[in-house]
Amino acid sequence: MTLGTVIMTGAAGRIGSAVREALREEAGRLVLLDRVPLRAQAPNEEVRAVDLLDAKAVEVALAGADAVLHLGGVSDEAPLPDLLEGNVLGTHHVLEAARRIGGVRVVLASSNRVTGFHPAAHHIGPRDPVRPDGLYGVSKVAVEALGRLYADKFGLSVICLRIGSFEREPSEPRHLSTWLSPRDAVGYFRAALAAPPTPGFAAVYAVSANSRRFWELPEASVLDYTPVDDAEEYAARVSGAPFPADDSTPQAGRFAEPGFTLRHIRP
């Protein structure tokens, strides 16, 4: 299987660095974008220093793309102006460039934090209402809204992956529900990038096959990937109190605490 020309933003980040090797094995051409310097590691890799706030530079960088994996942006709670600039405006520039190019599958990195205030007792899916657990979650709600807008209004093919706790292995009790293993992350990204660029929008949870997971796995008709790893295999090595403390605890855990956001609100 070849993925053709794949453009990956945020290629120097944690997830980008982890999936880069797997994607270059299947992409005819892998173009890696980031603000920080990168070095090509294979003949089919190209690296470019691009600021996603520069709309023209983004359009030039996406030229010739068959698929775009958009991982760039602010990756955790931060002041809202920073999140709006890094996540929302940057995503707008990627989608607008894809619209101008045409025929491109766009995969957007969303987050499980768009629904973090749902109680841990609830098993939820993409049809449930968003309940962001902080400003970061709000910015990812806006990212998903932009993706849906560009699919509905301009006929783009957009899939949003609501990424779980991406870790080498679970390290805290909440991860037993939310863990996304590196192997499953690659599987989700590969499946999303390989899907035909049929106009439309979908949001799915990218989470491993954890016995305690909060979220529905994707239907094969939406995203043809079945995760294989289960955080339960590591449960004996995860120390700390069980999570959740009670069924009404938000799925986001500590991310839903007021102090987690208040320290990022500027006076």
Kindly report, residue by residue over 97-114, the tens digit of the pLDDT.
999 999 999 999 999 999
CATH number, domain of 237, equals: 3.40.50.720
> Is residue 267 domain-resident?
no
Mean pLDDT (whole number) for 52-56: 97
Is the pLDDT confidence value at 267 over 80?
A: no
Q: pLDDT tens across 72-131, in order? A: 999 999 999 999 999 999 999 999 999 999 999 999 999 999 999 999 999 999 999 999
What pLDDT, on a 0 to 100 scale, did the predictor assign at position 1? Answer: 54
Predicted TM-score (pTM) of the model is 0.96
> Is residue 137 domain-resident?
yes
> Is residue 86 domain-resident?
yes
Mean pLDDT (whole number) for 197-208: 96
136 is catalytic: yes
Domain that holds residue 27: 5-262
Round the CA-based radius of gyration of the chain to a whole number and report it. 18
Q: pLDDT tens across 221-249, in order? A: 999 999 999 999 999 999 988 898 889 99
Collapsing DSSP states into helix, strand and coil, what is residue 68?
strand
> Is residue 110 domain-resident?
yes
Q: Across the beta sheet with 105-111, what order do the strands follow?
A: 45-49, 29-34, 5-9, 67-70, 105-111, 157-163, 200-206
**Spatial distance between the Cα atoms of 183 and 15, rounded to a whole number of angstroms:** 11
Report the percentage of the chain scoring pLDDT > 70: 100
What pLDDT, on a 0 to 100 scale, did the predictor assign at position 220? Answer: 94
For the chain, the average pLDDT equals 96
Q: Tokens standing for 197?
A: 């660029």
> Is residue 12 domain-resident?
yes
> Is residue 57 domain-resident?
yes
Q: Is the dihedral of CA 77, 252, 173, 243 positive or negative?
A: positive
> Is residue 159 domain-resident?
yes
Is the pLDDT confidence value at 2 over 90?
A: no
> Is residue 202 domain-resident?
yes
In a 13 Å sphere around the CA of 161, the CA atoms on its Cβ side amount to 30
Domain count, the chain: 1
